[in-house]
Structure 1
């Protein structure tokens, strides 16, 4: 008997919904673009999100094939951006537009929150900045004191959708509260948030493990959509949802997503504390930790300089690796992870052919990825066992081979690794399955396994050491 689960993903410029069964088979999907003005990176109306989501849900359900038993749709969960916050009044109505994670107006408040947290927090997250929820709460209260008098609750982006679905706005999950100042070690809101930053404790949400059922679908919505009052599962942040979709959900497993940037997330048994702030840890719903970090090095260099003829470039790279060359395709100025070097610049030999530069750049990204995992090992003591890979960078077979050989572990390419799919896994994790790990193992699918190449491993071990030596000579690493 098939059972079904909805995953809803609300991003910066649009939303997507998927319906999958308990084996992770995609049944249906839809997406919408938001109608936004020029200020959408600073503020957005959460009602625009909800209108798009409600329209998608209704149309998708109406168009389901007749052999899909709607009574077997069991649960829904939501993912959205990290650091976006909304002030609600006593009637759960927004007092102001959603203050987006990408809004830089709270930079000064971010510095102050970081300094205050640093005095109180020993081993937890203190890397607050303009993109943090706590910074935006402080900024709003200082900028709009008249509106601030009417605040009853601060919520995050996914919480708004969960509230519209279930009526429960007060409960959020471990992932959403990290950048709002919640102590994931003590599982409590620390006193300094109220005493020094000035956020009223009563305005902060109740926090539960990701995957917790927090209500039932509103009966009016259930009747309108023609589905049962299914379980509504607490939302989570988009980066964590993508990690869920990749299958990297148990200790020793890691996910690397190579898109515009390179994002690494994994699972460890102990909290990974980085004194330099290069990476930070979310709390796993089953008591583990999910450390991760984002690099400015990714695949943007491909779209800028190598967008044409990718098939031919990848074919040529097969015969050129290992190149023995040292290249780092860092497009923008400065790096944040695994290197904290605002002065960093990319580099490459000037006499390479286009094909060889392409191959050397792929190797350079793999070396940055390896350096990131080495730092994680130094901080946690835990060994890398496998990497689950997602993002556009995973579409190149030769790049997968390079990365597996540099990292010296198998790489698993995920078939479906979207935020919406991750939300669907969360929806199933405690409604049909008994845990997140069980749900992910049953629902994620591996499209391809790439093993390290023995000869390449040996060559890349030497080339990697030379790469690190160049970084040291440039004073990018110690």
Structure 2
């Protein structure tokens, strides 16, 4: 008998809900853009999110195929933005609109939070800034002292939607609290959060592993939608949910998403501590660690500079590799990962054809990706065994070949790697399956496996070492 799971993704500008079965097959989906005002980067109404989610759930359930037995729907979970927080009053109603992760107004509070945390935290996360939840909480209580007296609880974006589904607002997960200053090593709220930053202990949520069941669907909602009181699973941040959807959930597996930027997330047995702050680690629900980092290098240069026929360019690239040329298609000033170089600039080979410029750009991104993984291996002492790939950059077969050959690991192209799908996997992880690893193994699907090309590896090794030398010569590395 098939069983079914909802995944709810509340993004910055809209929401998506999907229903999948225990094998990850998509049964139904719905999406909608929020009706936002000009303040949406700073503040949004969480009740607007909930109104759209309710309507989408109703529409999706009413349109389910007749062969889907609603009594076989088992659970749902939610993913949303990291660092977005909401103060709730004694009735668990929003005291203020959600303060978005992209709101820059708490930059000074972020600096203070970082200074305080750095005094006490030796190996954990201290990279607080304006995008961190803890910074926004401090900003709010300093900006609105009269409202601070009415706060009963601080919650994160996904927690609010979980609360609306289940009535439980008091529980959150490992991924949401990283940027709210929770200690993921000791699994406790550190004393400096209340004693120096100034939050009240009663404002802080209980923290549980991602995938934990925290309640049942509200009885009135279940009756309205004509489904059972299914399990509601604690929420998760969007980046981690996408990692779950990629299948990179066991030690040694990694996910690279190449969109506008290049984002790397993976799983290690031990916490990866980066003294330079390029990487930070989430806590895996099964006790492992999920380090990751985001580069300013990605695929934006392709859409900006090579908007013509991409298939033709890819076909030409297939004939040109390896080019032996050095390029770094960085579209903005400065890099943050795998190197911290605010002065960094792009470079390209001189007098190269357009096809050669395109191809060497593909190679340059692959070199940045390999450098990122080398740093991870150096810091963790562990080996990268496979890379699961998602994002628009995975649609180029020649780029997949280049990357696999540069890094000398197989690349698995994911069929579905969305936040909503990751949330659905989390919903199944401890309701139908016994763990996240078991759920992801059963539900994720690999569209393509690309092995390293042995005829390219030696040339790419030489080209990569020359690339690193150029970065060093430019004082970037």
Partner of 1:233: 233
Residues of 2 paired with 1:446 and 1:132: CA distance? 34
Name stretches of at least 5 consecutive residues in structure 1 with no aligned partner: none
Partner of 2:430: 430
- Once the 2 structures are TM-superposed, how far is the Cα of residue 352 of structure 1 from its aligned partner? 1.6
Residues of 2 paired with 1:55 and 1:352: CA distance? 54
- Once the 2 structures are TM-superposed, how far is the Cα of residue 307 of structure 1 from its aligned partner? 2.1
Partner of 1:11: 11
Determine helix, strand or coil for the equivalent of 1:107.
Answer: helix
Residues of 1 paired with 2:372 and 2:447: CA distance? 25
- Once the 2 structures are TM-superposed, how far is the Cα of residue 308 of structure 1 from its aligned partner? 2.0
Residues of 1 paired with 2:140 and 2:351: CA distance? 53
Matched, 1:295 2:299: no
Shifted more, 171-180 versus 144-153: the winner is 144-153
Residues of 2 paired with 1:357 and 1:225: CA distance? 55
Determine helix, strand or coil for the equivalent of 2:320.
Answer: coil
Matched, 1:261 2:261: yes
- Once the 2 structures are TM-superposed, how far is the Cα of residue 37 of structure 1 from its aligned partner? 1.1
Partner of 2:198: 198
Deviation per CA, 1:264-301: give whole Å up to 9, x if none. Answer: 00000000000000000000000000000000101111
Partner of 2:25: 25
Residues of 2 paired with 1:226 and 1:202: CA distance? 36
- Once the 2 structures are TM-superposed, how far is the Cα of residue 164 of structure 1 from its aligned partner? 0.3
- Once the 2 structures are TM-superposed, how far is the Cα of residue 303 of structure 1 from its aligned partner? 1.2
Partner of 1:100: 100
Determine helix, strand or coil for the equivalent of 1:214.
Answer: strand
Residues of 2 paired with 1:84 and 1:196: CA distance? 22
Residues of 2 paired with 1:456 and 1:49: CA distance? 49
The aligned length equals 477
Partner of 1:57: 57
Deviation per CA, 1:72-104: give whole Å up to 9, x if none. Answer: 000000000000000000111001110000111
> Normalising to structure 2: TM-score of the pair?
0.99
Determine helix, strand or coil for the equivalent of 1:269.
Answer: coil
Deviation per CA, 1:288-335: give whole Å up to 9, x if none. Answer: 000000001011111111122111111110001111111001101111
Residues of 1 paired with 2:296 and 2:81: CA distance? 19
Partner of 2:408: 408
Matched, 1:285 2:285: yes
Partner of 1:221: 221
Partner of 2:391: 391
For the aligned residue pairs, the C-alpha RMSD in angstroms reads 0.6
Shifted more, 343-352 versus 239-248: the winner is 343-352
Matched, 1:341 2:341: yes
Determine helix, strand or coil for the equivalent of 1:382.
Answer: coil
Deviation per CA, 1:200-240: give whole Å up to 9, x if none. Answer: 11101000000000000001100111110000000000000
Residues of 2 paired with 1:303 and 1:227: CA distance? 44
Name stretches of at least 5 consecutive residues in structure 2 with no aligned partner: none
Residues of 2 paired with 1:347 and 1:226: CA distance? 59
Residues of 2 paired with 1:440 and 1:51: CA distance? 30
Residues of 1 paired with 2:457 and 2:381: CA distance? 22
Partner of 2:83: 83
Determine helix, strand or coil for the equivalent of 1:155.
Answer: strand
- Once the 2 structures are TM-superposed, how far is the Cα of residue 350 of structure 1 from its aligned partner? 3.2
Residues of 2 paired with 1:53 and 1:312: CA distance? 42
Determine helix, strand or coil for the equivalent of 1:131.
Answer: coil
Determine helix, strand or coil for the equivalent of 1:339.
Answer: coil
Residues of 2 paired with 1:273 and 1:124: CA distance? 7
Determine helix, strand or coil for the equivalent of 1:388.
Answer: strand
Determine helix, strand or coil for the equivalent of 1:319.
Answer: helix
Residues of 1 paired with 2:94 and 2:341: CA distance? 39
Within 5 Å, give how 1:328-477 maps onto structure 2.
328-477=328-477
Deviation per CA, 1:17-45: give whole Å up to 9, x if none. Answer: 11000000000111000011111011100
Matched, 1:142 2:142: yes
